[in-house]
A and B are shown apart, each in its own frame.
Chain A
């Protein structure tokens, strides 16, 4: 291929119009957009199921969902939000789009496999939704045995969906690790990488190493149902607790698959909007690795009441406390970065600050649950539900929205309404806290999780929570409207509306087909901001 000038290269959106140009594309940018479209649909579906559950809980007693249907909606909400939104979310959408741009490459290492992983994702997602029409599944997203091997519901469909989604996750992981190793542009040494790339890299390793574990486990559940293999069946010599151990050996590291890329996103956003280099670059990079490593050794804190020796429980409780340290280091780094910065409170930064607030609450309540004696009381209560929504939705979810607001002009070449962005963020903050703070209190007072009904004593908390869920749902819809409307009617964005110094903003918006006319050369560390330069 001969070299082309910037004017001669069309934008990636302008070439090969029509649906086939998208469905057969191997361009990492288009695949990122494909993921975004699929994911938005699944996310709105998952959020709608959540609002349906909250609506049922508006009043004590059963109103319009019976307990069975409630369980099925609960399961589908969990499966969609975990497997289709939070786990693939930031890497699949923003990782695909931004990783090659940030390391000065033309594409990922295996573009065709990248497209294959999108098809796996869509196939798995559609199967998960189809399972609803086949009667639904009532096991919860964890598929615990013996319930999952004896439940009358049609469990093969969501299990197959989860295994296919696992493939999608593994393929993306392999792609990203190879890309970071092989396709960095000249001069881009490891410690010159943007922190988002570091976090994607750490995440990709966890995806590669942890996903096959849960894949094998879910296959075993299918074999147990289908062939009567009794690996987890006590009447056949098996041990159901082993299922839980192996499930959480994957699924606890998976929460770091969810949060690490989000931590990468905030490490991009805060320097850009405070005009300062990130504080403690290497601490942030290494704490990501520490989180990935220690996070692989804390799984049994999900099982404190399942039956384990006291020694094991004390060790796992201790390790759970330890893993809070690298997370706290990051929080301090981000706040210190903002100190004396020249702050521009654009929507991405507002979301990032909301993240710090919500994630701190989520992290600290995690310590409460990690304490053995308290966990006996709080296990399987609404407190746990509130805790993981603070870390997952308040953490990874909030930064997904921040990333949307940050990179939208780059991805579409259009500007959204800043004012609506601010309103969305504030509405989200109010709605979120109103939804989940009451659940903390209800949980402490003994409200169990996963119940379709409750005693009248809990009515106040549930009503407040349900009203909160409406506000939060409204903020999601407002965000969708803001983005979709301005996709067609928005003003054209300049190449670098936030005056960022990172590499992906140095090319036109939307990026040209081959990203760079000439492969750039990096000579210094990232985040070279001079304070107050705007």
Chain B
């Protein structure tokens, strides 16, 4: 039996999109655990959380929010361009998305480096001398932004794969499920940041 024919027969764009949405539900539940923990500890340590939040760099966090929302726009534009058959334009937008995602990670690493410089990292002597609420706040900060950054990296890899397929001419307006699903994933990563930003930076 011819493999190509076999897969052709099973091709169903609705299934592909449905599978991706179900996967996104699992991501929501994964981050949901962290948000529940955050809610519980905010309830217990309200004042300490505000104190912790005041030590984060609002300018860098705000900059990153703008960067990530813009990257969602360029991702959507890449899909739009491909659906019109404009491959080179789509390729450029994918490149812009990767660049913005990289920019996000650079800013994030500066933020983390600044915290490390002040001796604030999980299990550090400095942090252990703080109040219990601040210790939990920074634990959650590192875990949640770290998990989010991990998702950004996965997203960058996916977008790069898309760009590769596009360059090889393996994507067309009729066969663009991979890029659409990558777009869905990228928007979710963006959306999670939209929640992380106020919870960590804006509760002062």
Seen from chain A, the residues whose Cβ lies within 8 Å of a Cβ on chain B are 1, 106-107, 109-111, 113, 170, 173-175, 177-178, 181-183, 208-213, 215-217, 220, 223, 227-231, 236-239, 242, 246
A175 to B31, CA, bound (A): 22
A231 to B147, CA, bound (A): 15
Whether A237 pairs with B135 at a CB distance below 8 angstroms is yes
B26 within 8 A of A: yes
Residues of B within 8 A of A170 (CB): 23, 26
Whether B22 pairs with A227 at a CB distance below 8 angstroms is no
Whether B45 pairs with A237 at a CB distance below 8 angstroms is yes
CB A1 to nearest CB in B, in angstroms, measures: 6
Residues of A within 8 A of B29 (CB): 209-210, 212-213, 216
Whether B12 pairs with A182 at a CB distance below 8 angstroms is yes
CB B153 to nearest CB in A, in angstroms, measures: 16
Residues of B within 8 A of A212 (CB): 26-27, 29-30, 32-33
In the complex formed, the residue of A with least CB distance to B2 is A1
Binds A, one of B56-64, B137-145, B179-187, B188-196: B137-145
A378 to B134, CA, bound (A): 39
Residues 1-13 of chain B: 1 if any A CB is under 8 Å from the residue's CB, otherwise 0? 1000110011010
Chain B contact surface mostly: helix
CB B151 to nearest CB in A, in angstroms, measures: 13
Which residue of B12, B33, B132, B142 is within 8 Å of A229 (Cβ)?
A: B142
Whether A178 pairs with B19 at a CB distance below 8 angstroms is yes
Seen from chain B, the residues whose Cβ lies within 8 Å of a Cβ on chain A are 1, 5-6, 9-10, 12, 14-15, 18-19, 22-23, 25-27, 29-34, 36-37, 40-41, 44-45, 122-123, 128, 131-136, 139-140, 142-143
Whether B143 pairs with A242 at a CB distance below 8 angstroms is no
Residues of A within 8 A of B33 (CB): 212-213, 216-217, 220, 246
Which residue of B32, B44, B128 is within 8 Å of A236 (Cβ)?
A: B128
CB A338 to nearest CB in B, in angstroms, measures: 37
Which of B5, B36, B132, B139 has the largest count of A CB atoms less than 10 A from its CB?
B139
A170 to B24, CA, bound (A): 11
Which residue of B6, B14, B32, B136 is within 8 Å of A182 (Cβ)?
A: B14
A209 to B30, CA, bound (A): 9
CB B39 to nearest CB in A, in angstroms, measures: 11
A242 to B30, CA, bound (A): 16
Whether A236 pairs with B136 at a CB distance below 8 angstroms is yes
Q: Can you sample 18 A-B contacts with CB below 8 Å?
A: A1-B6, A106-B9, A110-B19, A111-B10, A113-B19, A178-B19, A182-B15, A210-B29, A216-B31, A223-B122, A223-B143, A227-B122, A229-B139, A229-B142, A231-B37, A236-B136, A237-B45, A237-B136
